[in-house]
Amino acid sequence: NAPVRDRLRVAIQKSGRLAEPARALLASCGLSWRESRDRLFCYGESLPIDLLLVRDDDIPGLIADGVCDLGVVGRNVLQEQGSDRAGNGRTLAFREWRALGFGRCRLDIAVPDGWDWEGVQQLAGKRIATSYPALLSRWLVEQGVDAQVVLLSGSVEIAPRLGQAEAICDLVSSGATLAANQLKPVTTLLESEAVLAGPAEELDATRGELAELLLRRLDGALRIRH
Ligand code: PRT
Ligand code: ZN
């Protein structure tokens, strides 16, 4: 059994698109921290709520393992890892607690500019490059389309030009990256934004109360923003 913790631990991205907005949102909830020298851990000063600074991809697993209580992560990452776990028959240990309204993007299918798009059946028999294999596979099954998923960890948008795939499934915000690669978005699998993720089951009493307090302040801060 893990030792009892009486402080709440929140994982956020160390660097990247969600790092600063996540800190700013938590600061607007009245949290303040003292940073450790290695900048991986921030000790909560105003409240017993600490930050762990990590890769976004690690956040769902840290919550599932109970290393962290909460996390700020893209819905795309949370759902990808959730679908992957579900596909492997594991119980879902984390879920979305709140949508946070920043880091908005879409997970889209994009095809070469020159295609006349007639619908998802056009993807049958094609190769689709993505970093989101679980979400894409589930969507293809739902759509009844038999296509091949090609897993790439990055630079997905150049896969069609390299001949690795005919289409891609990737995050899009402005669309500039697609356009620069002669691709066009044709359908959306997921509308994403940063979310507060937490365990699927309740926290113990002490951390549960801290989480409640944080949620109340968060809801107040989010109301003011919108
Ligand atoms: O180092 P670490 O693993 O923590 O970071 P990362 O590089 O995996 O993530 P990061 O910082 O790039 O993104 C973190 C989260 O931001 C994502 O999981 C999304 O939830 C969210 N987000 C919002 C985006 C975008 N918008 C976005 N546009 N993540 C990535 N992109 C990429 C996209 O993949 C494409 O390459 O930006 C490019 C497209 O942008 P446009 O504007 O040209 O369409
Ligand atoms: Zn990442």
Question: What CATH architecture applies to the domain 8-103+193-225?
Answer: 3-Layer(aba) Sandwich (3.40)
- Provide the residue type at 145 as one letter: V
Q: What is the pLDDT of residue 1?
A: 55
- Position 57 scores a pLDDT of 98
For ligand 1, atom 3, the nearest C-alpha belongs to 55
User: Ligand 1, from 56, 102, 170, 178: best to mutate by most atoms within 8 Å of Cβ?
Assistant: 56
pLDDT of residue 130: 98
Pocket test residue of 12, 14, 15, 17 for ligand 1, highest count of atoms within 8 A of CB: 17
pLDDT in the model for residue 39: 82
Pocket lining for ligand 1, CB < 6 angstroms: 13, 16-18, 55-57, 74, 76-77, 103, 105, 170-177, 192
Q: Which atom of ligand 1 is nearest to the CA of 13?
A: 4
Distances (CA, A) of 39 to 57, 118, 180: 18, 50, 36
Question: How far apart are alpha carbons 195 and 182 in whole angstroms?
Answer: 31
Pairing of β 41-44 and β 49-54: antiparallel
Residue 76 alpha carbon, nearest atom of ligand 1: 20
Asked whether the whole model's pTM tops 0.90, one would answer yes
Class (C level, CATH) for 105-192? alpha beta
Round to whole Å and give the CA distance between 91 and 183: 37
- Please list the residue range(s) of the chain that carry CATH number 3.40.190.10: 8-103+193-225, 105-192
Asked if this assembly's ipTM is beyond 0.95, the reply is: yes
Which atom number of ligand 1 is nearest to the Cα of residue 180? 43
Stretches where the chain sits below pLDDT 50 are none
Ligand 2 center from residue 206 Cα (angstroms): 31
CA distances from 97 to 7, 71, 72, 219 (A): 19, 10, 10, 11
> Rounded to whole angstroms, how far apart are CA atoms 139 and 107?
11
- Residue range 51-106, pLDDT digits in tens: 999 999 999 999 999 999 999 999 999 999 999 998 888 888 999 999 999 999 99
pLDDT value, residue 211 = 98
